[in-house]
Structure 1
Amino acid sequence: MKKQVLIVLLNVLLTGTLCAQKEVDLTTLHSISSNELMEFATELSADKYAGRLSGSPEYLEAAKWCASKFKAWGVQPANNGSYFQYFSNEYSSVNSLGSVVYFNGNEKTYLDFPEDYLPGSNSASGTVHAELVYVGHGITAPELDYDDYKNVDVKGKIIILESGTPYTKNDETLEKWTPYAYHRYKFRNAVKHGAAGMIYASKVANPNTVNLEGFIYAHVDPKVVTQMMADAGKDYQQVRTQLKNMETPSFALPAEQKVFIRAETKYFPEAQACNVVGMIEGADPDLKDEVIIIGGHLDGQGKMGDVIFSSALDNASGISDILGLQKH
């Protein structure tokens, strides 16, 4: 989605100027080579950058490479003589794929990576083995008269959590729900209620949420959750429909249903990342003080154990578009 937004933005900018300067803009546009853009994307997706996880040394190396291109093309540094704008960026490294095991009475199912699960990118390191409680979106919002935890006790349990919020109408109320959609909020609220661990019912490699001491989790494919629900006598699709209707269908699964999660991670609370900022000064004396900002996120999903998420589509491709624009 971010790449699509970038492309649309570039198209809008180009279309707006084509009306007045068709010949000049077409010449500039056609000077950008798709092969060149592919070279940029291939470089940024290389294993040496290890998926460009923000805060990691590999991310900083990727940032240095981008800055070297800016310098070579005559793009001026835009942060008091520097191409880099540093900021604090805690992160966690996932040192092994860990494991997730589902128990249903005497039956034991080992989940497969990456088909069934992904390690929690900011999980604490360690193990958790506990009963399961479904908590919907994991939201406690008194001002909205909504609480996924109101009828369940999750102390010492592994929660099954959904992403997003139950509110889907595009109106002024949606803004009030937005803070409750963030991963950081959901994780902190789970810990506040005493959860020992979490199954995130969304198999997404989502880095740099928040590291909470002792809180162990994994992302699990919804098809696995569907089976867990079926084993508990529940129709997962029906439960999610109740959730969309804001009925807060939270419940504890039978005691014989448990999950074991093992995570091996390392937390870096003092890490830094940076923006790479450059400037091309305009030549028109009447317009040169006006600013057009074109940006995209350089960071990616990093790696899990020895598995590198090269993050080519999200977002080496978008950065390559910007580099091509900068060069020409």
Structure 2
Amino acid sequence: MKPSLSDVAVEAAIAALEITAITPVEKIEKLIDIAQQVQNQPQSSQQLEGAVHLYCQALELCEEGLYPLLEARALVGLGAALRSFPAGLADPLIEAQAAYQKALPLLQEHAEPAEIAAAEMNLGLVFQALAPFGLAKLPEALQSYQRALRVFTGERYPKEHAIVQNNIAIAYLSIPRFHQQEDPQPELAVQAFEQALKYISPSNHPTEYALLQNNLGNALQYSAAAQSTAGCRRALTAYDEALKVRSRRDTPLDYAHTLANKANVLFNLPDHDDRPEAGNLANLSQAKALYEEAQTIFQQQGLPKQAGVVAVALADVEQALGQQISE
């Protein structure tokens, strides 16, 4: 059996420890560099375990207090690797939290602000992932994100600013809602998405732009704005902006998700805002076409679960169409 790239890289890194011609600093840097390369490969548990092993080897070489910045960077890399383990596992996330929290004081003393902010952002993601287990609270994630935003301003770091704002919005949407008409979380999420979109464009940051527009449309569907046709129109505009970037050829899954999201809005939107009693035959027909295309893509991509969800929505649309045609 041919060894994987991660196996070869791990063995090479460990072998480097035996080379006496390089300094301890060079050994640590080499371990961290190879760990990052392993981690950036298409991820599997085996590769991530290899990266974790390399970061731990680097930390063993970081004598207490002797190489604080390298120790911090190894801890941050370790946290990122642990955070990337398959969803549903709490233990790696707990270890990732500990790694980031140990790294941050070292970074605050020895690193540049952007490096500190990146660690804060990633710690926020860990808190957010731990919240469903009852092992962290979403306000802890929001606090980490806000600290990151002190550095990642829209003017200086538009891409990073957009990513953090997206994370903030998703955190707001993840907070349980007890009074649907009163809870402000969806509106706060909408504000975060709109704030991020002030600083990026489809030409300069197409991936982030499409993600934010798609998620903005979703947030508008959850917000009080969804109760009005104006709010629904805003959501449609956001999805159309996302579809200027997402395409069936280049990003089929993202494209299919946005199609289905747009169809969800059209399902309940009247054809004429000033005459809702006239029905929505045209919008239902458009929703049907969007659902059909999304379903086909999910089937082609081997995602039966997603295809099944769309199939249920498609059946509802076809039923609604039949009712309106027969009236």
Give the shorter-chain TM-score range.
under 0.3
TM-score (norm 1): 0.22
Bigger helix share: 2
TM-score (norm 2): 0.22
